[in-house]
Amino acid sequence: MGFREDDQYMLHLSDGGHVVFVVSDGSREEWVMSSVPVRADVWQHVAAVFDHAAQRMELFLDGESVGAKAVSISIQSVSVPLRLGQIGAAENAFLGAMDEVRLYNRPLSPPDDCPLCTPDPHFVVHYPLDGSAEDASGNDKHGVLTDVVAVADRHGVPGKACAFNGTSSVVTVPDTTAADIHGNQSLSIALWIKPEAPVRSGETLVARWGMGFREDDQYMLHLSDGGHVVFVVSDGSHEEWVMSSVPIRAGVWQHVAAVFDHAAQRMELFLDGESVGAKAVSINIQSVPVPLRLGQIGAAENAFLGAMDEVRLYNRPLSAQDIRDQVGLARLSGQLPAASATHFQIQVNGIRGAKYRLQTSSDLRTWEDLAVVQVADGPVTYFVPLGNDSLRAGFYRAVALQ
């Protein structure tokens, strides 16, 4: 508790609730931090793995990889006790509940004794964008930042998102096999964005796209005039695309998801967990030797202006519930109220112990708070007063409180 020579390993929380895993050899430390914070008042599963043979550290939160790092270290042996909850001082004492603590002298590999740590085999790349372009999916398709600046994420945690300047900023993944999703594979893209006004036509979010010839085009997610999201896929001779029915808003963090289901031949867009556009198509995505890029495809006129965070690509179609889970939305159920009804009954079914903000909207853009509910052993029932037509005919969602 004061000298580096006495340090071996530690798992702790940082400011903002990010999980930090540290190992020491007595002269130096290696560490990895989760790309997302834990949530207060909610049970969550945390796993930390140091693989000595692979010289790799990785963190998992509720079964999903949230941080990985290549290291070069051997953990030292020290004559100190193992402690849970603190290391001897009140300022580093844990406040909360803890359960089922397990330590192993081997790297957990799924499923083993950590079934929640099983990675999604269809998880292709994951860029937390917490000041770097490292791939946290485990596939090591790391990118290179150009004129990209670290900024606060949607939770207000400094340095955990990236800002793009609208002219020269770009993340380039030089390995042209990265996210080369094609043929009979499906494609899903999910990310958080906070665009700045004015939104210009062609602002690129995520793309494997050429710069002039159709034969070099594979897929692209970009913005149109007015802020509508456009998702395009190409087979080299023609394109299929779908556009969101509602625009994004400048200056606000929003979650965008695009899904191409190859088996169903269907494209769909989601904004903050709600479907905002779908289309039947007939196409196989081609494979092209171009790099994956975030923020632009090589020219200032298609460069994104704003902040971006948590970019994820999959070679499977994400379900609507998969996307709602990423946004932090609970599952809702209810019945349409009769014309004479004075209340509308909604059931909120989410993570046990989690708190959700129940909201309503008439246009899927502006959301009004109704109540904060907490899920216990089963769905929570909430009675919405139907005092006006907007509540009777509106949309509803329940967003997890961070």
pLDDT tens digits, residue range 82-121?
999 998 778 889 999 998 898 989 887 654 545 555 556 7
In the chain the first and final C-alpha atoms are separated, in Å, by 31
For residue 322 the two structure tokens come to 């998969």
| Pair (360, 384) in one structural domain | yes
The larger pLDDT score, comparing residue 401 to residue 28, is at: 28
pTM of the predicted structure, to 2 decimals: 0.66
State whether the Cα torsion 274-276-282-288 is positive or negative: negative
| Pair (184, 39) in one structural domain | no
Q: Which of 204-218, 222-236, 359-373 has the highest mean pLDDT?
A: 222-236
Q: Residue 229 forms beta bridges with which residues?
A: 223
| Pair (198, 300) in one structural domain | yes
| Pair (335, 296) in one structural domain | no
| Pair (396, 359) in one structural domain | yes
| Residue 186 exposure: Cα atoms within 13 Å on the Cβ side | 19
Whole-angstrom distance, CA of residue 332 vs CA of residue 9? 42
Average the pLDDT over 325-335 and give the result: 67
Q: Is the pLDDT of residue 392 over 50?
A: no
| Pair (323, 338) in one structural domain | no
Supply the CATH number for residue 303's domain.
2.60.120.200
What's the pLDDT band for 401 if we cut at 50, 70, 90? low
Whole-angstrom distance, CA of residue 70 vs CA of residue 58? 9
Q: Which of 335, 343, 332, 322 is nearest to 380 (CA)?
A: 332
Of 294, 327, 360, the last residue of a domain is: 327
Yes or no: say if 238 and 283 are a contact pair by the CB < 8 Å rule. yes
Question: pLDDT digits over 149-208, tens only?
Answer: 999 988 788 898 999 999 999 999 988 898 999 999 999 999 999 999 888 889 999 999
Report the side by side order of strands in the sheet with 368-374: 368-374, 355-361, 395-400
| Pair (364, 335) in one structural domain | yes
Strand blocks (E) in 38-186: 46-51, 56-61, 64-70, 123-127, 144-146, 149-151, 161-165, 170-173
| Percent of all residues in the chain with a pLDDT value above 90, rounded to a whole number | 50
Question: pLDDT digits over 290-305, tens only?
Answer: 999 999 997 888 999 9
Q: What is the average pLDDT value for the chain, to the nearest integer?
A: 85
Distances (CA, A) of 334 to 319, 342, 362: 20, 15, 17
Boundaries of domain holding 94: 4-117
Of 90, 117, 144, the last residue of a domain is: 117
| Percent of all residues in the chain with a pLDDT value above 70, rounded to a whole number | 85
Of 117, 136, 165, the last residue of a domain is: 117
| Pair (377, 263) in one structural domain | no
pLDDT at 151: 95
pLDDT at 95: 92
**Residue for token pair 């298609």:** 302
| Pair (186, 168) in one structural domain | yes
The larger pLDDT score, comparing residue 17 to residue 110, is at: 17
| Pair (24, 38) in one structural domain | yes
Look at the chain and report how many structural domains it folds into: 3
Query: Which residues lie closer than 8 Å to 201 by C-beta, 6 or more apart?
Result: 223, 224, 225
| Pair (129, 111) in one structural domain | no
| Pair (262, 140) in one structural domain | yes
Q: Is the pLDDT of residue 58 over 70?
A: yes
